[in-house]
A and B are shown apart, each in its own frame.
Chain A
Amino acid sequence: MTDPAPTSEPPAAPHPASFMGEPSPDGRFGEFGGRYIPETLMPACIELEAAFRDAWADPVFRAELDGLLRDYAGRPSPLTECVRLSEETGVRILLKREDLNHTGSHKINNVLGQALLTKRMGKQRLVAETGAGQHGVATATAAALMGFECVVYMGEVDMVRQELNVFRMRLLGAEVRPAHSGSRTLKDAVNEAMRDWVATVETSHYCLGSVMGPHPYPWMVRELHRVLGDEAREQSRSLLGGADPDVVVACVGGGSNAAGIFSGFADTDAELVGVEPAGGAAIGRGVPGVVHGMKSFLMQDEVGQVLEAQSISAGLDYPGVGPEHAHLAEIGRAKYHSVNDDEVLDAFVTLTRTEGIIPALEPAHALAWVLRERASLAGRTVLINLSGRGDKDVAQVMDIMARRS
């Protein structure tokens, strides 16, 4: 752990500058972030940043978004204490229940915000990428709600893995277009979405689904998910008699749910832990690089070709990571670990059998790390962001279990 500052001077305030505040004017968190995009997209990113700043400072916009989050998405999501699992592990485990949101994951927070912003910018068409399909479903849902046209790009491999979500998006009126190139997963869906956006930027908004891409996306998407971190902090304090959890854990692909929950605790004493899939550990195994509009940690070969991630979870199957996570790792404010697919499946089953909650495979990564570290976490309070529900994954898990038995 890096010490943020020498302790010789008396602190004026416990945290004078937030660990998760605004990026620099050029969109950087430390050395990471920025805006590595073609000139044809530059006006759109500049316009989007201005529109977001303006909207975010506008009480009318905030009230409209809060109303949608409450009355449409079902916020606040509850905080659940896992009584049986805590007894079994000796770790006091709390879950932030983003799985209970409308559309089944935290993704709706970001999408409702960006959809309102789209309306404010006078655009009528949403373009999105999706991995597991949760962001695609959330975007298709917002498009249906607001009467927008919607095109979702999804890797061919993921369309097979997440067939149900493909149908769900089509049912909602979205067009799902396969990404045939490269590894045919999330990174290729991002490429296709950017190609669409370059051609349609004057009428379309790219509704990016994670804390990645060019500035202002990493910052904007984190701010749109801050609501879940703020709720979780207040809920834990009320449960824990004013105290914060000792450790806050979330899975990290691009890193949006982790950014949301970390933002609620960055300026507390809670330890922050991000859990990557072993086959997609951008922070664990990557080196700095530039792709998809940002500088961040990236799994790449020695000349800079981007490697294909491998994970049981389509939502975490991404060789990069949001730039703010790269920064939090660099300064030591958050720690990043990885778990393998077997540990994830065990965690998936454990939570289902012990608490009656079927998690998505993505947040099962966060739980898998807690279960592995149960000895060192014994007696401590751990908050896990349960970022989505597992309905979308049961068919895939059924197949895997059938092959193993």
Chain B
Amino acid sequence: MTEPGPLEAHLRAQRAAGRKLLVPYVTGGLGAWTDVVRALADAGADAIEIGLPFSDPAMDGPVIQAASEQALAEGATPASILDGLRDIDAGVPLVVMTYYNLVFRAGHERFAADLVAAGVSGIILPDLPLEEQPPWQAAAVPAGIETILLAGPITPDDRLKALCAASRGFVYGVNLMGITGERAVVGEQSAVLARRLKDATDTPVLMGFGVSGPDQARQLAANADGVIVASALMRRLLAGAPVDEIHAFTTSLRAALDGS
């Protein structure tokens, strides 16, 4: 077992201090996104997920699709976003979420080096399952980039164990069968998955997909170590919410988690 990287070490320390973890998401390159990253950190995020928009986000629902399209239309590229992160000094670990083709096209070594240069600790690649990980891991591990793997409600036990063993930073539990986007109700399958993941690993377990607000965040974090919130934030940003409102919403998520 290797020593945890900076992302995982940070999340483990926060957990050890009795805190439920909050990882909010923002699409890079969209409007005043760097201000949003700072606001998220200030409002109590334990790490921040930054999306590098892709032309064909097949795992994403309408909100993240719209955010991605808009960011691309504004000229966002992986390089421009990583440049933006370089000087951001958020004070919490940064995680990039993108689709594998942007990594493959750049070349594994170059992409990993670019992440390191931008101060990014981890990466989520939803279309790169365990079996296809080795060529990327061969570049990511020596560079010190922590690759977060996802597990879903119908992931069988043997796969789930293998995913947990290979995941670095944290394990991403997918709350539901489907794409990203808020849901009024996230069903019992989330709690079942969270418990299975917690039984399988000591790595922090964060639950994402469908989280719409503070009450749900608290419920979903109850069986895990924390939550990831994306579409609920991005819907507000796309509707023109100022950074203050994003800060306030994130503060309400933080408060709900601290009260649980």
Contacts and interface: CB of A to CB of B under 8 A. Distances in A.
Interface of A: 26, 34-40, 42-43, 181-182, 187-188, 190-191, 194-195, 198-202, 287-293, 295, 298, 300, 302-306
Interface in B42-68: 54-59, 61, 65
Interface residues of B, number: 41
Given A195-B58, A305-B55, A39 B106 contact: no
B178 A303 contact: no
A289 B154 contact: no
B136 to A, nearest CB: 11
Nearest to A195: B179
A26 B150 CA distance: 20
A202 B177 contact: yes
Given A287-B105, A290-B104, 10 more contacts: A26-B131, A38-B150, A39-B151, A40-B154, A191-B58, A198-B59, A199-B177, A289-B104, A304-B101, A304-B102
B72 interface: yes
A256 B127 CA distance: 24
B102 A39 contact: no
B101 A43 contact: no
A303 B104 CA distance: 9
A305 B54 CA distance: 6
User: Chain A interface mostly helix, strand, loop or mixed?
Assistant: mixed
A188 B79 CA distance: 25
Contacts of A36: 100, 127-129, 132
A39 B156 CA distance: 11
A306 B55 CA distance: 6
Contacts of B69: 181-182
Contacts of B72: 305
A191 B56 contact: yes
Given A26-B131, A198-B179, A303 B58 contact: no
23 contacts: A34-B132, A36-B129, A38-B129, A39-B126, A39-B150, A39-B163, A40-B154, A40-B174, A40-B177, A43-B156, A43-B159, A188-B56, A190-B58, A191-B56, A195-B178, A200-B177, A201-B177, A288-B104, A290-B101, A300-B105, A304-B106, A305-B72, A306-B55
A389 B102 CA distance: 39
Contacts of B61: 195
B149 interface: yes
A298 to B, nearest CB: 8
Given A38-B59, A306-B55, A198 B106 contact: no
B164 to A, nearest CB: 12
Given A35-B132, A36-B132, A195-B61, A182 B177 contact: no
Contact of A35 (B129, B149, B156, B177): B129
5 smallest beta-carbon distances between A and B, as pairs: A304-B105, A199-B178, A40-B152, A305-B55, A304-B102
A287 B105 CA distance: 9
B219 interface: no
Nearest to B104: A290
B78 interface: yes
A37 B151 CA distance: 12
Contacts of A40: 150, 152-155, 174, 177-178
B201 interface: no
Contacts of B100: 36, 290
B251 interface: no
Interface in B155-173: 155-156, 159, 163
Among B58, B106, B129, B178, max chain A CB count under 10 A is at B58
